[in-house]
Amino acid sequence: MARLERATTARATLAPPSDDSQPTEPIAPAAPPLTLPDDIHATIRRLESELQEARLRVLSMIPPTPPGNITLPSTTPILVVNGDDPFHPDFLQAKINARPSVIPEDQWFKMLQATKPTGVDKYKGKNLQELMLFEKQCISAFRSAPLQCFGDYNKVLFAEKQLDKEASAQWHRYADAHPADRHVWTSFLAFLRDSVMAPRNRELQIHKEYTEARQKSSETVREFDLRLAGLEAHLPPKTDVELVQEFLSRLKPDIATILNDQATVFLTRMDVVAHAQRIEENHKARRGLAHEPTTHNSNNDNPQSSRSRDKRSLRTPRRG
């Protein structure tokens, strides 16, 4: 008991005094938060995005060891890309996952690596129609070669090589004066658009073409969808319901009539395109059967064949 009292007394003696008279050191005021200009923030975000794209690109190019697993980092979820949008962040991963079951994974990856973007004409910067065709061709090239055109850097690098001499010189002069835009796809397109037409005139021209756009008799459903989407990319965004209605109202009558008679509720433009393509294929199949020549198993039904046979029978054999 006495030992416990002595220990308690010792702890009380060592404890610091609790009175408020003890002097305290002054606390330094907090430093004001560091404020960076907006352009610095934009540059930081751009560099972070480019670093992430480069990281994914490098990792996606590493062959699997052992063969059998081709994956991107866990930070990129495996999603189903809504359509063939080469600008979707998961487009490359979706293409890797789309491997046919009969092709080994290592061979599929080599095929993706070997696929080069093609099918883009030289761009001279003459008018808006040429520019819109150039954009459509570039998007098709990006879609066909997802690995070679991964990220804005590779997209711009490929597209600027398709510029004609004068258009290329103009772009490089602009890029030298605005280095932050050099490898940004939207900046690249914005420069080309402003080069061929003033923004206001371009908007009026695109709006006029969109209003008059209809599926041509020689145009497939897929081609018309790409053309209409190319125009819509320059217009204010529309809802899914509006996109469905706009597409239905512009299809060829023979296809639109069948779609309307089906009384199907289409939730997205992709649904309409898929149904319209099936109708288009059915029409092609019917036309192919209608033009297929009639075959005969017997020559007796063919008068021309009978006459030829009779002539051969009347010939005098040659003497040796």
Q: Which amino acid is at 278?
A: R
As a whole number, mean pLDDT of residues 222-237 equals: 86
**Is the model's pLDDT at 63 over the cut of 70?**
no
What does the pLDDT read at residue 295?
Answer: 52
pLDDT beyond 80 at 319 = no
Structure-model confidence comparison of residues 268 and 32, the more confident one: 268
Residue 80 above 50 pLDDT? no
Residue 23: pLDDT over 60: no
Higher pLDDT, 104 or 72: 104
Tens digits of residue pLDDT in 280-302: 999 888 887 766 655 555 444 55
This model's pTM is above 0.75: no
In this predicted structure, what is the pLDDT of residue 261?
Answer: 84
pLDDT, average across residues 57-69: 45
The string of pLDDT tens digits covering residues 137-194 is: 998 889 888 888 888 999 999 999 999 998 899 899 999 988 898 899 989 988 998 8
Q: 76: burial class by Cβ within 10 Å (0-12, 13-18, 19+)? A: middle
pLDDT at 61: 52
